[in-house]
Chains A and B, each alone.
Chain A
Amino acid sequence: MSALTREETEALIQEVLEVYPEKAKKDREKHLAVNDQSIEQSKKCITSNRKSLPGVMTIRGCAYAGSKGVVWGPIKDMIHISHGPVGCGQYSRAGRRNYYVGTTGVNTFGTMNFTSDFQEKDIVFGGDKKLAKLITEIEQLFPLNKGISVQSECPIGLIGDDIEAVSKKAAKEIDKPVVPVRCEGFRGVSQSLGHHIANDAIRDWVLPRREGKPFEGTPYDVAVIGDYNIGGDAWSSRILLEEMGLRVVAQWSGDGTIAEMEKTPYVKVNLIHCYRSMNYIARHMEEKYNIPWMEYNFFGPTKVAESLRAIAALFDDKIKEGAERVIAKYQPLMQAVIDKYKPRLQGKRVMLYVGGLRPRHVIGAYEDLGMEVVGTGYEFGHNDDYDRTIKDMGNATLLYDDVTGFEFEEFVKKVKPDLVGSGIKEKFIFQKMGVPFRQMHSWDYSGPYHGYDGFAIFARDMDMTLNNPCWGKMQAPWLKKPEAEAEQKAA
């Protein structure tokens, strides 16, 4: 199927909206748009970061998911208490595959679940005593922890527990940072507010801890911010930066430690990968510590080279040479990857629906493989995300914000992409529809996808999914029409 024209795409949106009642239709209409590169500001064509409509299937998370799951969770040498009932922590435990080095349960705690396991009694009489006891117990059982964060679940805010007071008292007792985070799930419209709350907690409780302490810096210190090391992403990014001569002081927060985070105010530049979840802290550090920040994109060789040059431009000639050296070193390797997979993937069309950065960041990687992204959307993006997306997407492509289950299915039925990239909740619907699918939240249990090494894996995975022989076997043999069979034999 050839690409849709602007009119066809508009008609498609109208057709999908048809089934909604009048009020819902009016609301959802604002979240669906046809991309127009001439528009400077996204808000003229699409509304985002609004409350989801009751009754539709949304796949958004909550503020707790944004704070504990995304920002705080990967800090490996801290213990993150899921304060409240047991479910929130247990069902989200280790699901994001934030890799780290260390001995789990001894000096790192990334995949473990710590919870205060609220019962009726705690809701009625308050859970502060339980929290204090829990922190003492943690200190006895896991003495090598470097700090504790208290991630509030919904009931904490509802019953009005004073976790700040408990945390301050406990911090004095155990002489380690204890950070209360007010990330109750009911706050905000999606996990996005959780990111913000988590950033604010880091700003208030972590960054000031080393102010005025000596630090042996170099002119080439940088921090990698907003890389959660999913499947090893941060490692494949970090080696490139180090190879070009920079010193990576901190990784936020994949495979990161609290000590690294405390040292971040001493770096020369903050490099932001996930803009959505960590721009707040970057802005704060720019204001308070005068550290400039820049966004970069490590998906696909074109964007990696672009980003490496942009990063190097902030430093002296030594780094600039280093960047060129790195690009030249990997260029033939990447050409080999492209030569191998491009013929198999050329011209394939992709629809994406991911979280807060990949809907625009991975477009470059697909384009390097000769593929085209025909629709993209954010679960919890804001206006500034769409501002940045409009330029990266082709004209007359689909944009959908907080897409509902129904809308997404209909779009895929009509646009007929060759590949859909989204989360686990969509995966099996589309696979049962016979559409090849990649789970792009945690790389479908593969990865890394960042950097040059990541691109080779990305290309292999896309080929493995798209050209899997199973897609030709979607119909039972006895239902196959004879001419289709003949065609297959001929092929």
Chain B
Amino acid sequence: MANIMIQRGSKTEYVFYLPKRDLEDDIISMEFNTPEKWGGEIKLNNGGCYYIEPQAAPARLPISLRAKRLDAAE
């Protein structure tokens, strides 16, 4: 599990930020993206893949979350 931050992006809807590794990248897909259910598997532009527990969509971004690494790029 890693602490991550999700914020709004300019090119894509969301940008992913992993402070520990200073990894900043666009999120190209998010499994659930509705106000009631938000999160799940997220895919990054660099090929990485993380999982955040599905939850109600946050009222405002950025937000810090815990995420599980499914498949890191590199």
Q: In the complex, are the beta carbons of B19 and A41 less than 8 A apart?
A: no
Chain A residue, CB-CB nearest to B5: A283
Alpha-carbon distance A382/B18, docked complex (angstroms) = 13
* Shortest Cβ distance from residue B36 to the other chain A in the assembled complex, whole angstroms: 23
Is A383 interfacial (CB 8 A cutoff)?
A: yes
Q: In the complex, are the beta carbons of A196 and B5 less than 8 A apart?
A: no
| Residues in B whose Cβ lies below 8 Å from that of A41 | 45-46
Is B29 interfacial (CB 8 A cutoff)?
A: no
Q: In the complex, are the beta carbons of A384 and B24 less than 8 A apart?
A: yes
Is B62 interfacial (CB 8 A cutoff)?
A: yes
| Residues in A whose Cβ lies below 8 Å from that of B22 | 49, 192, 382-384
Which range holds the interface residue count of chain B?
A: 10 to 19
- A43 and B60 in contact, given A283-B17, A383-B24, A384-B22 (Cβ under 8 angstroms): no
Q: Which residues of chain B (4-44) have a CB below 8 Å from chain A?
A: 5, 7, 17, 19, 22-24
| Residues in B whose Cβ lies below 8 Å from that of A290 | 60
Alpha-carbon distance A387/B24, docked complex (angstroms) = 10
Is A36 interfacial (CB 8 A cutoff)?
A: no
Is B55 interfacial (CB 8 A cutoff)?
A: no
Chain B residue, CB-CB nearest to A276: B22
Is A286 interfacial (CB 8 A cutoff)?
A: yes
Q: In the complex, are the beta carbons of A287 and B23 less than 8 A apart?
A: no
- A286 and B24 in contact, given A41-B45, A196-B19 (Cβ under 8 angstroms): no
Q: Which residues of chain A (373-409) have a CB below 8 Å from chain B?
A: 382-384, 387
Alpha-carbon distance A387/B23, docked complex (angstroms) = 12
* Shortest Cβ distance from residue B2 to the other chain A in the assembled complex, whole angstroms: 15
- A287 and B5 in contact, given A383-B24, A384-B24 (Cβ under 8 angstroms): yes
Is A118 interfacial (CB 8 A cutoff)?
A: no
Q: Per-residue CB proximity of B34-74 to A under 8 Å, as 1/0?
A: 00000000000110000000000000101110000000001
| Residues in A whose Cβ lies below 8 Å from that of B46 | 41, 43
Alpha-carbon distance A290/B23, docked complex (angstroms) = 22
Q: In the complex, are the beta carbons of A286 and B62 less than 8 A apart?
A: yes
Q: Per-residue CB proximity of A246-282 to B under 8 Å, as 1/0?
A: 0000000000000000000000000000000000100
Q: In the complex, are the beta carbons of B63 and A287 less than 8 A apart?
A: yes
Chain A residue, CB-CB nearest to B25: A41
Q: Which of B17, B22, B45 has the most CB of A within 10 A?
A: B22
Alpha-carbon distance A473/B17, docked complex (angstroms) = 53
* Shortest Cβ distance from residue B26 to the other chain A in the assembled complex, whole angstroms: 10
**Shortest beta-carbon contacts, A-B, top 10:** A382-B22, A287-B62, A384-B24, A286-B62, A287-B64, A283-B5, A49-B22, A41-B46, A287-B63, A43-B46
Q: 9 A-B contacts, Cβ less than 8 Å apart? A: A41-B46, A49-B22, A192-B22, A283-B17, A283-B62, A287-B5, A287-B64, A290-B60, A384-B24
Q: A41-B45, A49-B22, A383-B24 are in contact. List 11 more A-B contacts (CB 8 A).
A: A43-B46, A43-B74, A192-B22, A280-B19, A283-B5, A283-B7, A287-B5, A287-B63, A290-B60, A383-B23, A384-B22
| Interface residues in chain B, defined as those with a beta carbon under 8 Å from any beta carbon in chain A | 5, 7, 17, 19, 22-24, 45-46, 60, 62-64, 74
